[in-house]
Amino acid sequence: MKLHVPLLIALLALPVSAALAQGKVIAPSPSTLASLDLYDQPGAAVAVRQVSVAEAGLPLIIQSTKTGFHQVAIGGQNYWLRGMQVRISRDSTASCGTASQSAMNATIATPGAGKDACK
């Protein structure tokens, strides 16, 4: 049984990482922020450019996330935004399908989709 636990954890982590990749930058944080700092790489100390919130063209699709920074395309160029400067909306989906069993007899189901949630 100990061999199955790491595999189960890895399988459960896959949908979480896929959901994180589907996020969008929807607003600055705080909402009164007038411009966003753009970085050429995650973790950079100095911004290479600033862009007004209006010019940024929100919402922006997040291409990648690394060490508290989100990679987005603005004006046809890739930049990194500091995660503390933006609000993120993450796409998520749930289905009301039946639970299934894997080859190891572990039951897989959608969290939160209880018996009354899909009527």
Tokens at residue 38, please? 């753009």
Domain boundaries, the chain: 21-90
82-96 tens-digit pLDDT: 999 999 998 766 666
Burial of 54 (0-12, 13-18, 19+ CB in 10 A): exposed
Question: How much is the mean pLDDT over the chain?
Answer: 77
12-68 tens-digit pLDDT: 444 444 434 469 999 999 999 999 999 999 999 999 999 999 999 999 999 999 989
Whether domain 21-90 has CATH 3.40.30.10: the reply is no
Burial of 84 (0-12, 13-18, 19+ CB in 10 A): exposed
Spatial separation of the C-alpha atoms in residues 55 and 74, rounded to whole Å: 9
DSSP string, 66-94: ETTEEEEEETTEEEEEEGGGEEEE-----
